[in-house]
């Protein structure tokens, strides 16, 4: 019998991250949910219904917090099969401080988390999944403002490319995912209602994209909620 | 330069207006050397990485913001990014020097958003990728080239209405 797979998911408190947690739990995975907002109770309620869910605090913008999360994860599992980066932020202004914060959370944070978790992934399935955005696609970008968000996602995409260049030959596989326009909480404590998709919609596609193997893993591809391919 | 007032003052000293603004990302210097040659396995200090990335991005953004009113008064209204082929997220095979390459990708995105915003009012854009081979035309020659543009034609029937990165041999490099 195949042993249970384990996944760590950042930004799991709510929205897309939470929905992805639910999806992996439904498919029998051991889910370690990276929690940023301890006051947000959805994860706690989900844990009460699922023995396969563990919650680990993590702030992806703080290297000490990331190291502490790794330490806690090691105590929960000897091996990590998949790491999913969902944690992200959007600020609708481009002050130097706002730009720095978006770069910190959206671009540098995933690098820090990846670097710190890599040793724990060596004995596992070695899959790294990044929730990016069409906003990071330079060739297709259509925005006329929100520089900070766009540059943070472009920088993320570059970092993923560079990690791919190193880690692919060591057996790691990569997924880069544009979740679509989803009703989420990225800007407020209120879930938006104007987007065409719900977090559960994109989580279903993400699960397939993240877990299914591809005929060729040597190509880095960004796919979306409709399983279409994007330039990035 | 990261101080907004300092940048404004420097640009204002150029006079009433100017034609071309040239942007670039410094390859090395200061804290960047601490990250030189390091892959994801090599203990990258993310706080240094963030400082460099934030400095580079905010420097470009603030410089552009200060320059736009002066470029509007110029004839060419041209914004130029001097970069290199490893700025291509699609094509680069680089594994080290994250701060530099992530900054280059960010600069490409800034150019794209600027293009989306200011091309309709007549601004023009050039991205020159120097591959260091001294082949083909120089950055100076390229940034002064005129690209095909017929105002009455369809928007898509014009090189000036595309943001492309080219090397000295005028080969287009994907973003």
Tokens representing A210? 């993240």
User: Where do the structural domains in chain B lie, given as residue ranges?
Assistant: 4-173
Q: Is A42 exposed, middle or buried (0-12, 13-18, 19+ CB in 10 A)?
A: middle
For chain B, the straight-line distance linking the first and the last C-alpha, in angstroms and rounded, comes to: 27
Q: pLDDT tens track of chain A, all 232 residues? A: 458 999 999 999 999 999 999 999 999 999 999 999 999 999 999 999 999 999 999 999 999 999 999 999 999 998 999 999 999 999 999 999 999 999 999 999 999 999 999 999 999 999 999 999 999 999 999 999 999 999 999 999 999 999 999 999 999 999 999 999 998 877 667 888 888 899 999 999 999 999 999 999 999 999 999 999 999 8
User: Where do the structural domains in chain A lie, given as residue ranges?
Assistant: 6-230
Q: pLDDT tens track of chain B, all 175 residues? A: 557 788 888 888 877 899 999 999 887 656 667 788 899 999 899 999 999 999 999 999 999 999 999 999 999 999 999 999 999 999 999 999 999 999 999 999 999 999 999 999 999 999 999 988 878 999 999 999 999 999 899 988 999 999 999 999 999 999 9
Q: Is A187 exposed, middle or buried (0-12, 13-18, 19+ CB in 10 A)?
A: exposed
Whether B2 contacts chain A with CB within 8 A? yes
Mutate to test the interface with A, among B38, B42, B46, B88 (most CBs of A within 10 A): B46
Question: String of b and e for B9-30 (b: at least 16 CB within 10 Å)?
Answer: eebeeeeeebebbebbbeeeee
Of A118, A144, A155, the CB nearest to B105: A155
Give A18 to chain B, closest Cα distance, Å: 26
Give B16 to chain A, closest Cα distance, Å: 26
CA-derived radius of gyration, chain B:
17
Whether A136 contacts chain B with CB within 8 A? yes
Subunit contact B110:A142, Cβ cutoff 8 A: no
Subunit contact B175:A231, Cβ cutoff 8 A: yes
pLDDT digits 0-9 by tens, B134-155 = 789 999 999 999 999 998 999 8
Looking at domain B4-173, which of 3.40.50.410, 3.90.850.10, 3.30.70.20, 3.40.50.720 is its CATH number? Answer: 3.40.50.720
For position B97, what pLDDT does the model report?
92
For position A219, what pLDDT does the model report?
96
**Which of residues 177 through 206 in chain A touch B, CB cutoff 8 A?**
none
Mutate to test the interface with B, among A94, A108, A133, A176 (most CBs of B within 10 A): A108
CB of B75 closer than 8 Å to CB of B19 = yes
Whether B102 contacts chain A with CB within 8 A? yes
Give the Å distances, CA to CA, from A21 to A35, A57, A202, B56, B69: 11, 15, 12, 36, 49
Subunit contact A104:B50, Cβ cutoff 8 A: yes
pLDDT digits 0-9 by tens, A80-133 = 999 999 999 999 999 999 999 999 999 999 999 999 999 999 999 999 999 999
Give the Å distances, CA to CA, from A46 to A12, A26, A55: 11, 12, 10
CA nearest neighbour of A61 among A21, A96, A102, A13:
A102
Whether B31 contacts chain A with CB within 8 A? no
Query: The tokens 């929960």 sit on which residue?
Result: A76
For position A1, what pLDDT does the model report?
45
For position B5, what pLDDT does the model report?
82
Tokens representing A29? 């995975």
For position B103, what pLDDT does the model report?
96
Subunit contact A154:B53, Cβ cutoff 8 A: no
For position B31, what pLDDT does the model report?
67
Which helix (H) or strand (E) covers residue A215, if one does?
none
Subunit contact B41:A104, Cβ cutoff 8 A: no
Give B75 to chain A, closest Cα distance, Å: 23
CATH T-level assignment (fold) for domain A6-230 = Rossmann fold (3.40.50)
Whether A221 contacts chain B with CB within 8 A? no
């Amino acid at each position: 019998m195949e042993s249970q797979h384990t996944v760590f998911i950042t930004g799991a408190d709510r929205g897309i991250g939470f929905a992805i947690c639910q999806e992996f739990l439904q498919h029998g995975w051991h889910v370690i949910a990276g929690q940023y907002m301890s006051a947000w109770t959805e994860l706690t309620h989900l844990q009460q219904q699922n023995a396969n869910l563990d919650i680990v605090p993590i702030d992806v913008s703080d290297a000490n917090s990331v190291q502490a999360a790794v330490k806690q994860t090691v105590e929960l599992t000897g091996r990590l099969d998949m790491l999913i980066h969902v944690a992200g932020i959007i600020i609708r202004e481009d002050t130097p401080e706002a730009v720095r914060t978006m770069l910190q959370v959206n671009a540098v944070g995933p690098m820090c988390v990846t670097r710190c978790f890599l040793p724990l992934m060596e004995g596992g399935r070695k899959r790294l999944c990044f929730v990016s955005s069409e906003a990071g696609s330079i060739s297709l970008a259509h925005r006329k403002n929100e520089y900070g968000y766009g540059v943070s996602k472009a920088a993320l995409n570059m970092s993923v490319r560079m990690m791919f260049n190193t880690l692919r030959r060591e057996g790691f596989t990569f997924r880069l995912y544009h979740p679509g326009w989803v009703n989420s909480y990225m800007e407020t404590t209120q879930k938006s209602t104007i987007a065409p998709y719900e977090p559960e919609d994109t989580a279903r596609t993400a699960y397939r994209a993240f877990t299914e193997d591809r005929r060729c893993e040597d190509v880095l591809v960004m796919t979306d909620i409709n399983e279409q391919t994007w330039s990035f | 330069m990261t101080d907004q007032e300092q940048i404004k003052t420097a640009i204002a000293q150029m006079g009433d207006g100017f034609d071309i603004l040239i942007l670039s990302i410094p390859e090395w210097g200061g804290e960047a050397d601490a990250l030189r040659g390091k892959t994801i396995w090599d203990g990258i200090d993310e706080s240094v990485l963030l400082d460099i990335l934030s400095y580079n991005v905010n420097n470009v953004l603030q410089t552009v913001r200060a320059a736009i009113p002066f470029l509007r008064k110029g004839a060419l209204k041209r914004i130029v990014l001097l970069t290199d082929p490893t700025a291509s997220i699609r094509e680069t095979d680089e594994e080290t020097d994250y701060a530099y390459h992530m900054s280059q990708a960010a600069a490409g995105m800034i150019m794209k958003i600027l293009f989306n915003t200011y091309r309709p009012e007549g601004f023009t854009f050039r991205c020159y990728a120097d591959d260091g081979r001294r082949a083909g035309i120089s950055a100076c020659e390229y940034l002064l080239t005129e690209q095909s543009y017929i105002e009455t034609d369809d928007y898509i029937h014009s090189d000036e209405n595309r943001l492309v990165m080219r090397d000295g041999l005028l080969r287009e490099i994907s973003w």
